[in-house]
Every structure is written in C-alpha cells, then in structure tokens.
Structure 1
Amino acid sequence: MLESAVPSPGLSERRTRALLSPWFRLGLLLLLLAGAAATVLALRPERMLADGWPPQLSGGTAVVLFAAAYGLCTAAFVPRPILNLAAGALFGAPMGTTAAVAGTVLGSGIAFGLGRLLGQDALRPLLRGRWLSAADRQLSRHGFRSMLAVRLFPGVPFAAANYCAAVSRMGWTPFLLATAVGTVPNTAAYVIAGSHASSPTSPAFLAAMAFLAVTGLAAVVVAWRKRGRVRPAPRP
C-alpha cells in the first residue's frame, strides 16, 4: 500500500517537465501580471498627485523609495505620465527626474526579466508573420538603437515595448542603457510640468507642455508617413 502511494520516477519527472514547460511559465507570467494589475487598481497610486508623499519620509530616502515604487508600478502597468507628474510635484525637477528615470529603468528591468524568464520560450515560436519577424530581427540585431528609437518615440506603449524586447534576443545591457537614455527627454518634460503644476502659466510649464505636444505631433507624422511602407506577408 505504501509503495503504491509513492509516485514513480517517471511520473515525478513528467510533473517536473510540465511545471517547467514554456506554456506553464507563460501562464504563470499572465497570472502575475493580472495580480499586479488588480493590486494597482486596489491601491490607486495616482492618489499621490492629490495626497502627496508621507510626511515622515523626506530627503534621499524618499527619492529612493519613490524610485522603487515607481519601478514596481510601471511593471504593473501604471501609466508613466501619472508617475512622472507625481515625481515633479513631490521632489521638483532635478530630483524628480532622477527618481523617475531610475524607476523607469527598474520597472523595465523587472518586466524584461519576467518576460525573458517566463514568456520567451513559449512566444518565440509564434513569431512567424512578416511584421513580427521583422521586428524580432531588428530588436535582436540592433538592440540599442532600436530600443532607443522606441523610447524616444512618444505613443509606443511602455509595457508592450518591454515584453516585446524580452521575447527577442536583445541583451540586457543594450536594453537597459537605451531605456535609461531614451526616456530622459519625455520624462523630464513631464516632471517639469508636474513641478510647476501650481502655476500653469509659468514659462517652464508652458515649455514642457509645448515639448510634449511637438514630440507627440512629430510621432504622429512619422507614423503616418511610414504607414504604407509595411505590407503584410503575401499568402502562399
């Protein structure tokens, strides 16, 4: 009776393979992301814009903690503009930009690591379409410049870019370095706007909003001009 209750080596091995299978890991990733999104909806981090930072936290400790919270929030799909505005309102332009960029790199690294560990093996075999294959080749062969362009290009979903890069063969160093460099301009503009939100007619606030408007318009123009250059793969 006791011997029949003990799993055979073959059954144990099959269970281990099932737990380590690409699709099980992808399911775990989706479960983690759903849990993170639900947590964000419950905690509502956007309240920092109205309620401010806890008064007992200040100085360098507050900046570090905010950067860590920023990273976790971006990995859980909180829109970065909200967090950037909060960084400016809480810490001012210089320290707010530092905290926001550090949090951006941290959140990108978390998403990239999760996607690479739990999603890459399952999703790479699905990259068969012309557009997907071309994007994968571009990210894999020209990682830094491709990701730098993505980060500089307003309107590209931040989380989607992280997980697409994770599925590609891009290395960690070009991904994080391009993220750190490419997110500075728009991040700084939002932080400056947040730091001058109480005086929306000030030159600094108007300049920041003008920069965001111009870069957004430029992104729309570039996307419109390139719309016809990519054609779907012909049917066999």
Structure 2
Amino acid sequence: MLAPVPRPPGSLAVRCSRALLSPRSRLSMLALLLLSAAALVVLYEPQRLLASGWPPQTSGAGAVLLFGLAYGVCTAAFVPRPVLNLAAGALFGSAAGLTAAIAGTVLGAGIAFTLGRLLGQDALRPMVRGRWLTAADGQLSRHGFRSMLAIRLFPGVPFAAANYCAAVSRMGYVPFLVATGLGSVPNTAAYVVAGAQAGEPGSPAFLFSAGFIVLSGLAAAVVAWRKRHGLRAPAPVTAPEPESELEPETAVGAGR
C-alpha cells in the first residue's frame, strides 16, 4: 500500500491567503467597507454631532485639529462636505474653520484614495474599456495634477467618485493630494464663510458666499447639461465623396 504523499506545511494557509488577497476578494472587501460606512452615516448621522453636539470643553488649536480628523473620517464615509463646511464655519469662524475643513478634505481624500488603490485598483483596471473610460483614465494618469485641480474646482463632480476614479488610475499620491487641497479652497471657503456668518444673513460676507455657492452650482448644472447633450447627440455622418466624372476623352475611349 502506497503511503500518502505529505503536503508541504502551510500549503493550505498559503492558498487561503492568496484567495483572500486576490483582486476580486479585495474589491469585495472595499465594497463591504463602503456599504458599512454608508449605513453608519444613515443610522447615526455624524454630521449632526459635528454641527451641534461638539464638546464645548474643546477649544483652540486642539479643537481645530480634532475637528479636521473627524472631518476627514466622515468625508471618507460619504458625509456630505457642504454640511461639514458649514459646521466648521459655525464652530470655529472663517479662518480656523477653513483650515480645519481643508485639512479634513485632504485627509478624507487621502483615505479614500488609499482604500481604492490598495483594494480596488487591481480588480477595476481591467474593466477600464471603451472610448470614454479609456480617455478619462489616460487624462488622469498622464495629467494628474491639472486634471484633479479642474475636478476640484468644478463643484458638480461628486467628491467620493473623483477620489475612487483617481485611485483606479495611475495618478500619484502627491499630485492628487496637492491638487485636492488647492482646488477645494474656493468652494470650501464659500461654505465656511456662510456658516460663520449664518447669524447675520444680511451681512456682505454671507451674501457674497451665498451668491458664489448659487452661481457655481448653476454653472456646474449648465456645463453638466451641455456635456450630457453633447454625448447624446449623434455623430455626424459624412457623405461619401462623389465619383469623379469621366473626362470626355475617356468617355469616348470607353465607348469604343
């Protein structure tokens, strides 16, 4: 009777680890993590805690730092940034609120970018097909800084979607984070100032910030409508060129 061939030690553990670390498994982990974060936001509404339930004993630079950390985590968990920006202005004023909001924005974008890069890129990159997806991926990969800067300046692009699209591309960390910090300043400042001046809705600062928010939103809607209309428009059909008529001498020769 033949003796069974002994398996090398740890072979089962190696196979299990490979299965758990495969691109599809990591993508499933990312989807589960994002769904859990979204469910927690719906159930507990952490934005209300940041806006109205902030501990009164925290103040100064420590409070701004703590708020920025909480802002980043909440942003990565799909809490709307406008609500957080208004809360930052209402709690800390324009200058300190803007500092906390921009720091939290960069932190939240970095968290989402890291999760997308580690857990989703290997599984999603083979799915980047088609003319529009390929063009977007090439733009983000080759011109990361200016592309992300334009996306952050444009208020119509969802924050989380931009983070994960950038993570799937080959954009580097530094261009992504620097462009996020710089491009988020105008729109973030408008919301922070509006939150800081919410008690005086007739003040010039509040009116200016509210006007900027409305105008930027309208501009984003117009650009999005034009892009959508352009995508729906059928491609122009070019008529085939008419065949050149035979010259009289050639026609005579052909009739012979």
Using structure 1 for the length normalisation, give the TM-score.
Answer: 0.91
Partner Cα separation in structure 1 for residue 83 and residue 17 of structure 2: 42
Aligned to 1:196: 197
**What is the aligned-residue identity percentage?**
69
Q: Which moved more, 1:9-18 or 1:114-123?
A: 9-18
- Equivalent position amino acid for 1:72 in 2: V
Match runs of 1:90-169 below 5 Å: 90-169=91-170
Does structure 2 retain, via aligned residues, the 8 Å contact 1:119–1:167?
A: yes
Aligned partner of residue 227 in structure 1, secondary structure: helix
What is the TM-score normalised by the length of structure 2?
0.84
Match for 2:105: what amino acid?
T
- In the alignment, the residues of structure 2 paired with residue 49 and residue 102 of structure 1 have an alpha-carbon distance, to the nearest angstrom, of 15
- Number of the residue aligned with 2:187: 186
Q: Could you list the per-position Cα deviations for residues 62-92 of structure 1 after superposition, in whole angstroms to 9, with x for gaps in the alignment?
A: 0000000000000000000000000000000
Provide Cα deviations, 1:104-133, integer angstroms capped at 9, x if missing partner.
000000000000000000000001122111
Paired position in structure 1 for 2:173: 172
After TM superposition, the structure 1 = structure 2 runs for residues 25-40 of structure 1, keeping only pairs within 5 Å, are 25-40=26-41
Q: Cα distance, 1:151 vs. partner?
A: 0.4
Question: Which moves more between the two structures, 45-54 or 138-147?
Answer: 45-54
- Are the counterparts in 2 of residues 49 and 85 from structure 1 also a CA contact under 8 Å? no
* Number of the residue aligned with 1:75: 76
Q: State the partner residue of 2:67.
A: 66
Q: Which residue of 1 aligns with 2:239?
A: none
Q: Larger deviation: 71-80 or 131-140?
A: 131-140
SS in 2 for 1:24: helix
Deviation at 1:168, TM superposition (A): 0.4
Size of the aligned set, in residue pairs, is 232
Q: Which amino acid in structure 1 is aligned with residue 72 of structure 2?
A: G
- Secondary structure of the equivalent of 2:228? coil
Once the two structures are TM-superposed, the CA of residue 10 in structure 1 deviates from its matched residue by: 3.8
On the 8 A contact 1:22/1:121 being kept in 2, the answer is yes
Amino acid at match of 2:148: M
Does structure 1 residue 221 correspond to structure 2 residue 222? yes
- Secondary structure of 1:224's counterpart equals helix
Paired with 1:90 and 1:127, the residues of 2 have a C-alpha distance of: 43
Greater mean deviation of Cα atoms: 23-32 or 109-118: 23-32
| Residue 194 to residue 7, structure 1, CA distance change in 2 (3 Å) | farther
Task: Measure, in 2, the Cα distance between the counterparts of 1:231 and 1:7.
Answer: 59
User: Does the CA-based 8 Å contact 2:156-2:224 persist in structure 1?
Assistant: no
1:20 aligns with 2:16: no
Whose RCO is larger (CA < 8 A, sep 6+)?
Answer: 1
Give, in angstroms, the shift of residue 44 of structure 1: 1.5
- What is aligned with 1:205? 206
CA distance in 1, matches of 2:65, 2:219: 34
Residue 48 (structure 2) aligns with: 47
Q: Where in structure 1 are there 5+ consecutive unaligned residues?
A: none
- Are 2:64 and 2:100, in contact at CA under 8 Å, matched by a contact in 1? yes
Q: Which amino acid aligns with 2:93?
A: G
Larger radius of gyration: 2
CA-CA distance at 1:8 after TM superposition: 5.6
| TM-superposition CA deviations, 1:3-53 (whole Å, max 9, x none) | 99x986443332121011001001111111122222222332232476242
